[in-house]
Structure formats: structure tokens, C-alpha cells
Chain A
Amino acid sequence: DTEVTQTPKHLVMGMTNKKSLKCEQHMGHRAMYWYKQKAKKPPELMFVYSYEKLSINESVPSRFSPECPNSSLLNLHLHALQPEDSALYLCASSHAGSLNQPQHFGDGTRLSIL
């Protein structure tokens, strides 16, 4: 079992819906990440939180809104998504402050936009 838990595992939503993806880790990591992965492509970084503060936003459209309510939780709020946003969304965590620490990934949420 992965130590990073993502819910839901699958999500189908219409373009006018509002939904949230959730990520939780209990490894004491203070850096958390959201990635988007399309089929047959590598993961693309979206956001990075370090010590619960947003540190990196890779010019992601505002219809994606991240939130880090505490050191264990990371949310991604979705609103008015487009069909091209259908993808696997991966959450990861790592120790902050050191480049050599590997990121640990969850199973992902498979998102389909109708």
C-alpha cells in the first residue's frame, strides 16, 4: 500500500461541476506536490507546497485551485474544467529543504471531464 493516499480514485464530472481531489500523507513530509499526467506522457508539475505555503505554481489555469490546510493534507479544487483536463492527477510528498529526498507518490485520481 502506498503511504500517500489519494481520493477519489476515479472521478467523472461535467464541465460546470465543482469537485475536489484530496491527498493525505503521514510521513512527516513538509513538501507536497500536484502533478498532471496524460496517457503515455511523464507527469507534469502543477503546484508545490513547502511548509504549507504555495512555493511553485507552474502557470496552471485558475480553474485548478490548490489548498494545503495542514502539513498532512493537500487538496485540489476543480471548477469549470475542460475536456482536455481529463488525466491522471498525482499527489506526491517529500522531506522539504533537501534536494536528494525522493518524492513519494499516491495512486492518483483518474479524472474524466464530460
Chain B
Amino acid sequence: AQKVTQAQTEISVVEKEDVTLDCVYETRDTTYYLFWYKQPPSGELVFLIRRNSFDEQNEISGRYSWNFQKSTSSFNFTITASQVVDSAVYFCALTSPDRGSTLGRLYFGRGTQLTVWP
């Protein structure tokens, strides 16, 4: 069974602080994909990053960086110098073969509400 755990329900920081959102996953599949999505109050889930199970390279995109470690089944997300506009719910998600199909069934964590105060 697939499972994604985001242990942090809510995080509050002050602008310009760095913040790390944790994500731990469980799967028995050797091929899987991990995603992070951002959901601002408007409701839309915004795709941020995808990582496949064979690529453990960390990635940096502007103020965002991701640390993927298969040894600990973690895919953590760090925002450097946070801004008020970063306030949102962040979801970590996992997709792996669904009953032999190639459809991308997403297994979401419960999300972390990040609030950045000015």
C-alpha cells in the first residue's frame, strides 16, 4: 500500500526565515514518482516539482529546494527566505502503478499549512 506522511500540520514563520516541510513515504514499488503541490486559499493545486525513484539528485529552483533520500524514504521541501506569498497548504504526493495500469493515481499526504507573517 502507498502512504505519504506529512507530520507537520501547521507551521508559522516570520518573513525571511527558512522553513522545511517534511514528507515521508511508504511504497513497495521500485518505480514511483514523488510530487509537491501548493494550494493557496484560492483552491487551485499548483504543481511544484516531480522526482522519480531513480533520481536522488537534489534540486533547487529559486528559493525552493528539495532533498530526496531513498534511504530514509523522505522528500523534504525547503523554502529559503520565506515570503508572505508562500503562505499556503503544501501537499506531498506519491504515484506508482495502479493495479497494473499506467494511470497516475496520486496518494496525498494530509498537507502542511504554512503561514508566513510579515
Contacts and interface: CB of A to CB of B under 8 A. Distances in A.
A103 B43 CA distance: 15
Contacts of A98: 102, 104
A96 interface: yes
A39 B111 CA distance: 11
A56 B110 contact: no
Interface in B27-66: 31-33, 35, 37, 42-47, 50, 52
Interface stretch (A19-27, A63-71, A105-113): A105-113
A2 B103 contact: no
A42 B47 contact: no
Contacts of B87: none
B47 A31 contact: no
A2 B50 CA distance: 19
Contacts of A42: 91, 108-111
Contacts of B106: 43, 45, 103
B45 A43 contact: yes
A2 B45 CA distance: 10
A99 interface: yes
Interface string A71-110: 0000000000000000010101010111111111111101
Given A41-B110, A42-B111, A104 B102 contact: no
Most chain A CB neighbours (cut-off 10 Å) among B45, B109, B110: B45
Interface in A30-54: 31, 40-43, 45, 48, 50
A99 B95 contact: yes
A99 B43 contact: no
